[in-house]
Amino acid sequence: MAASKRSVVSCFFLVLLLAEANAQGLKVGFYSKTCPQVEGIVKKVVFAAMKKAPTLGAPLLRMFFHDCFVRGCDGSILLDSSNNQAEKNAVPNLSLRGFGIIDDSKAALEKVCPGIVSCSDILALIARDAVVALEGPTWEVETGRRDGRVSNINEVNLPSPFDNITKLITEFSTKGLNEKDLVVLSGGHTIGMGHCPLMSNRLYNFTGRGDSDPSLDSEYASNLRKKCKPADTTTALEMDPGSFKTFDVSYFKLVAKRRGLFQSDAALLDNSKTRGYVLQQARGSTFFHDFGVSMVKMGRNGVLTGRAGEIRSMCRVRN
Ligand code: HEM
Domains 27-155 and 165-298 share a fold: no
- The predicted model gives 219-240 an average pLDDT of 96
Give the closest residue (by CA) to ligand 1 atom 3.
159
Please determine, looking at this structure, whether the domain spanning 165-298 carries the CATH number 1.10.420.10. yes
Cα 169 from Cα 117, distance rounded (Å): 33
**Confidence band (pLDDT; 50, 70, 90) for 24?**
low
Domain residue ranges in the chain: 27-155, 165-298
The residues, any chain, with a CB within 8 Å of residue 115's CB and separated by 6 or more, are 311, 313
Q: Does 66 qualify as catalytic in the annotation?
A: yes
pLDDT per residue over 280-289, tens digit each? Answer: 999 988 999 9
Q: Which residue of the set 26, 31, 66, 188 is catalytic?
A: 66
Fold of 27-155: Peroxidase; domain 1 (1.10.520)
pLDDT per residue over 259-281, tens digit each? Answer: 999 999 999 999 999 999 999 99
Q: Name the residue of 55, 56, 60, 62 to mutate for ligand 1: max ligand atoms within 8 A of Cβ.
A: 62
In the reported structure, the alpha carbon of residue 11 is separated from the centroid of ligand 1 by a whole-number distance in angstroms of 42
Known binding residue 195? Answer is: no
- What letter represents residue 270's amino acid? D
In the reported structure, the alpha carbon of residue 24 is separated from the centroid of ligand 1 by a whole-number distance in angstroms of 32
**Burial call 114-150: b when 16+ CB within 10 Å, e when fewer:** eeebbbbbbbbbbbbbbbbbbebbebebbbbbbbbbe
pLDDT per residue over 139-160, tens digit each? Answer: 999 999 999 999 999 999 999 9
Q: Is the pLDDT of residue 17 over 70?
A: no
Q: Is the pLDDT of residue 190 over 90?
A: yes
In the reported structure, the alpha carbon of residue 191 is separated from the centroid of ligand 1 by a whole-number distance in angstroms of 9
Q: Is the pLDDT of residue 200 over 90?
A: yes
**Confidence band (pLDDT; 50, 70, 90) for 123?**
very high
With a 6 A CB cut-off, is 57 part of the ligand 1 pocket? no
Check residue 284 and give its pLDDT.
86
